[in-house]
Every structure is written in structure tokens, then in C-alpha cells.
Amino acid sequence: MIIPAIDLIEGSVVRLYQGDYGQKTEYKIDPVELVKQYASDGAEWLHIVDLTGAKDTTKRQLTLIKQMVDLEVMKFQAGGGIRTEQDIIDLFEIGVTRVVIGSLAVNNAELVMSWVEKYGAERIVLALDVNIDSEGNKYIATHGWQESSGVTLESVVEQFLSVGLKHVLCTDISKDGTLQGPNQALYKTLAQQYPQISWQASGGISSLADIELALTNIKGSGLNNDSPSGVILGRSLLEGKFELKQAIAL
């Protein structure tokens, strides 16, 4: 599955370079119109990151996200600084299908695990973004990628499998926003190690060849879930590296 992504800051479509708010590119396109465009090109899901809400929870862009969801042209998964159960409830109430949870899944795993049990594993996506060291250890970064948790990706996955974890969005931070190709070996390894999970590959995709290989690497994982594994596309679509229709055709 191909999942286009829209990152939002104060109502504008943006992309950050490796999570750095100081390295922001703003795109002069209305996010609601972009949703319409992606839907007309055949997208069934959209990934939304509320970067304003991630930085300041009192400024969540719920009104804008609701306008996007109310188009009723596709399903949505959304996140950005989820810290409380009310944050989840607010997104569900405006029609978001899945909530994406990042740092909190590491910093307060017991709480997030209780949400997975309460709302169902199909409705929660863990965003586990990693820095990989010279020995191949996959350490999860938190707080908008600004801090290292010292916790490995595998340890978190193992913990959450106990409550039926189904969806994980994984980004190799060193690849994000670079258009230099994703970490293909990472996704192949994860899909083989945890085939019961629907993996979402993200970061660095710049060509149709990147997408085709990524889809091959994660193929077969998550087949028992409601949605198959997928590839997240952000900057590559916004900068016209290829058309969404071409990616979906793969």
C-alpha cells in the first residue's frame, strides 16, 4: 500500500529535514486541496503529522484535520506529540481512523499498551524512529528525534506484541528528508523478524525503484491485519519526483 503523508505547521504543508524545525521547507499548497488531489490519484490512506501540536499541545490543528477528514475521500492516520488519552479521543472524534503514537510508547509503555487494549490494535500505530549505530543497534529517538531513548526497536516491539501490536511506522532518521533512498535492509530484516506486523516504511524515498524495492522487502508482513504493509511518501511527492498514480500502480 502507498500512503502519502502531509506534515502541517500552522496550517501550512511543510517538510522537516531529519525532524529539525530549523530546517523547514514550506510548500505553497492548500492541505485540503492536496487531500483531494491524492484521493483522485487513488490513495486510500493519508498520514498526517501535526507538527504544531507536537510542539505545543494547546495548538493542535484539529479544525484543519477535521476539514480534511470530512471530505470522506479516504481514511486517515494522524499523530504528532500524543501525550494523553484525550489527545487520542480528540482525533477519533473528528473521524481519524488510526492514531500514531511515538515517544510516549517508549517513555510510558504501560500507558500506551493500555490504550492498545482499550481501543484495539487496529486503531493504534506506533511510530518507532531509529538511529542505527556502527554495531547495528536500532535505538529509538524521542521528543521529535531530538533525544535518544537508549531503548532498542526490538525491545519495544516485543513488549507491545503482548497486547497484539499490528501497525508500526519505522523511519531510519538518517534517511529522512534526504531523497537518498530508504534503509532497505532495515525493512527487509524487520518484515522477516516480525511478519505479524504491518510495517510502514518511511524516509528517503526518491524514486519508483526505491518504492518497488521497499514494497518487495515488506511484502508478506501484516497479511492477517486489516491493512497490509505500506510505504509512506512525503517530500518525493511534494517535489514531483514521480506521480502518486505511478507509485500506486506498483
Query: What residues act catalytically?
Result: 7, 129
Please list the residues that pair with 222 across neighbouring strands. none
140-to-47, 83, 109 alpha-carbon distances in Å: 20, 17, 13
Q: CB atoms < 10 A from the CB of 66, how many?
A: 15
b/e sequence 171-188, b meaning 16+ C-beta within 10 Å: bbbebbbbeebbbbebbb
168-to-121, 123, 205, 222 alpha-carbon distances in Å: 11, 11, 18, 10
Cell of 109: 509503555
